[in-house]
Structure 1
Amino acid sequence: MFSKVNKFFHRLDFRLTAYYTLIVLFVSFVVFGFFTYQLQKSLMKQVDKVLRDEVHELVYEYEEEADIIKACIRFEASSSNRKYFPIVFRLIDSSGKILYASQSKQGISFPTPTNRLSHFCMLKMPHREYPFRMYEQKISLDNLGNFTLQIVTETRQYGKIFENLYENIVMAMVVILFLSIGCGILASRKPRKIIRDITKVTKRITSQNLSERLLTPAARDEIYDLTFTINSMMDRLEQSFREIKQFTSDVSHELRNPLFGLKGEMEVALSQNRKDEEYREVISECLERCNFLIKVVNDLFLISRFDMKKIDLDLVYLNLCEILRDLFNFHLPMAQEKNLSFTIDRCDDVVVSGDKTRIHQLFSNLMDNAIKFTPENGSVILSLIAKKDAAQFIVEDNGMGIPKADMHHIFNRFYQVDKSRSGFNRGSGLGLNISKKIAEAHEGDITVKQNEDKGVTFVVTLPRAM
């Protein structure tokens, strides 16, 4: 039971409602407090104005009567029996003698006069619910000298006004409390439902089921941004898992065939006694397969380092024309074995900032592929063109070409255009993927297009050194 109560108090909608209610109540309290303070200040100014006017009225009565006692009697008669602001006063001469005091004192005990010219104060009387407001002022009457006038009026009417105001404020705060709770519940229902939906969907997501997606709300608010971000993350995760599965399947396939071939050749060699030459031939073939496996593993390791961005490039200034001519001379014998027309059409002197080993690997991969997949008596043309801000290395052949449907996949790892090939001529399907990653690591790019007649053209673009 306690855990359920504790869980309820920790729910998002409860906390949002509580925060919303507290904020609304606090703001309402501040507004009502400020309003009450301003009203009290305004009403007290009105009382003070009444008291000042009464002082002027008494002085006016004296000027009319020319007798201070008669003026006080007349003033008391006109002001003491009012319904609102009845006046009680006393007049004290400079020696401290009381010249006149109201007959109806209403239980008021006047304080001792001060030396100030004028001031206001509140008088709290025992057994009286509301305090009195007193105004004390020094007045000077012709031929009579200086006097101190203490004049008092009640604040009962204003006190009742504030009592009613406080009662209304309390009722208003109660209404605001319930309204804020209701509005808070309504306002927090939507985010709670969305979060519950997010939780429900994410609980169903596993490595075998990454196709689940959150419903995106119509309103483009923070909830929309959250669901869009989560869906985008799921897209990336699904793509990553798909690539991992495909990669695992491809690696298993690429390693299984050479291993089975290696195992088969060894079993055949051991099935009966053979001559030394035959054993030597089997060992040579096994070594060739081992070298192929080592190359595949090394290529995979290189790709993984590119993917994790842990590849370290030893950047130096390179003259690509020199590299192209060196690689051309290296691949020329292989091209001549197939009677290929292997030529350099153009070789501009252009310098780039790059890793010499990786640039060699990039150019060599493209030349190897062109020679390997171009039939006998075909042609492979190499070009190096200097552009304004870049260098372009172009490899054009008239070989078997690449079908249009395969163009978008040609740079994927383990992708093979001619799946009918077998053995070492088939290759690992990693060369073009590595070439693309090398080009991108040098802030360049590699593209492929079909030739008009037959064959394809690969174009590597690398930024020139500044």
Structure 2
Amino acid sequence: MKRLTDDELIKELEDRFAFNQKALSDLQEMTRKLETMNAKLQESEAVKSHFLSNIRNEINNPLTSIMGLSQQCLCSHPDDERCGSIARMIYLEAFHLDFQLQNIFVAAELEAGEAGPAYANVDVSTIIDRVVETFEYQLGEKKMNITADREKPLSFLTDARMVRLILVNLLGNAVEFCPDNGNVSVVAETDAGVLKLIVKDDGQGIPKEDQGAIFDRFKQLDVGTTKNHRGHGLGLSIVRSLVEILDGDISIESEEGKGCTVTITFEEPDIDVKDSASEGNMFIFDDAEQF
């Protein structure tokens, strides 16, 4: 083995040092580029979030006004059949648009990973009452009967907004797929730190072979240009995502032509909540958010 001279050894060390210096310089340059790219991505995300927030407000505010004015018209002219019919149609169309847009916004939050639970002690019975109230005109149009069986108050540690979104979508589906004069029931009960929510209807039901796909996003069983039911296939996928975020379980029992029963259970989280309240509406019933 050839022995290196002092000059050759110094040259070898200088070459390796130069190589290491270049590698370090390249690494620093790459780090700077990554930091710049990350900063731009964060700025882009902030701009997107701000944009979505503005869009939400720009859409919510006029829809809220339309629904509020149509309700006022209905109350102010109870004996005017033509005025009532027009006002009711305006309200129902605005409500449906608001319902679908809110689901789109929630789906965007879920896709972006921005939907985290905000736990607080809430009155689940209040949430149920308010959700049922939002479907007053839809139920009236179809002459449907709805019953709500729950304790009052029913205090539970959970995310009020998410529970409300879950119930709104489940009740919305039940109303949509029930025939005229149909029946819907909502049950809420707690036992040993477990909240159980049950939404049951006597509608058209879901075929066994289709039940595995109903939670897929944008999946609709009623498709085509002549479909009988409205929507975009977001509701049940949002329900499942929110249930998972709250560490809950969801199950469906249904047969075609025999209605549908959706059961959701949540275990009360073992966490300390400093800021809490006894009524769910303190957290979720924003004047600018109808559904």
TM-score range, shorter chain: 0.5 to 0.7
Aligned partners of 2:105 and 2:139: how far apart in 1?
Answer: 26
Return the offset for 1:465: 5.5
In the alignment of these two chains, the number of paired residues is 178
Aligned partners of 2:198 and 2:99: how far apart in 1?
Answer: 28
CA contact (8 A) 1:318 1:353 kept: yes
Corresponding position of 2:214? 410
**TM-score, normalised relative to structure 2:** 0.54
Aligned partners of 1:303 and 1:366: how far apart in 2?
Answer: 18
Corresponding position of 2:180? 376
**Structure 1 residues 292 and 459 mapped into 2: Cα distance closer, same or farther (>3 Å)?**
closer
Gaps of 5+ in 2: 1-89, 271-291
Instruction: Kindly provide the amino acid, as one letter, of the partner of residue 362 in structure 1.
Output: I
Q: Deviations over 1:261-314 (max 9, x none)?
A: xxxxxxxxxxxxxxxxxxxxxxx9xx9798688556424312303xx4x32322
Aligned partners of 1:392 and 1:290: how far apart in 2?
Answer: 30
1:60-459 to 2 correspondences below 5 Å: 294-295=101-102, 297-305=104-112, 308=113, 310-347=114-151, 349-420=153-224, 425-450=229-254, 454-459=258-263
**Structure 1 residues 427 and 453 mapped into 2: Cα distance closer, same or farther (>3 Å)?**
closer
Q: Deviations over 1:203-258 (max 9, x none)?
A: xxxxxxxxxxxxxxxxxxxxxxxxxxxxxxxxxxxxxxxxxxxxxxxxxxxxxxxx
CA contact (8 A) 2:213 2:219 kept: yes
**Structure 1 residues 462 and 350 mapped into 2: Cα distance closer, same or farther (>3 Å)?**
farther
**C-alpha RMSD of matched pairs (Å):** 3.0
CA contact (8 A) 1:382 1:394 kept: yes
Return the offset for 1:344: 1.4
**Structure 1 residues 355 and 409 mapped into 2: Cα distance closer, same or farther (>3 Å)?**
same
**TM-score, normalised relative to structure 1:** 0.35
**Structure 1 residues 304 and 403 mapped into 2: Cα distance closer, same or farther (>3 Å)?**
same
Instruction: Kindly provide the amino acid, as one letter, of the partner of residue 354 in structure 1.
Output: T
- Asked which structure has the greater RCO (Cα within 8 Å, sep 6+), the reply is 2
**Structure 1 residues 294 and 393 mapped into 2: Cα distance closer, same or farther (>3 Å)?**
closer
* Structure with max Cα Rg: 1
Gaps of 5+ in 1: 1-283
Aligned partners of 1:447 and 1:318: how far apart in 2?
Answer: 24
**Structure 1 residues 292 and 446 mapped into 2: Cα distance closer, same or farther (>3 Å)?**
closer
Q: Among all aligned residue pairs of Structure 1 and Structure 2, give the percentage whose two residues are the same amino acid.
A: 27
CA contact (8 A) 1:381 1:396 kept: yes
Aligned partners of 2:103 and 2:131: how far apart in 1?
Answer: 22
SS for the counterpart of 2:221 is coil
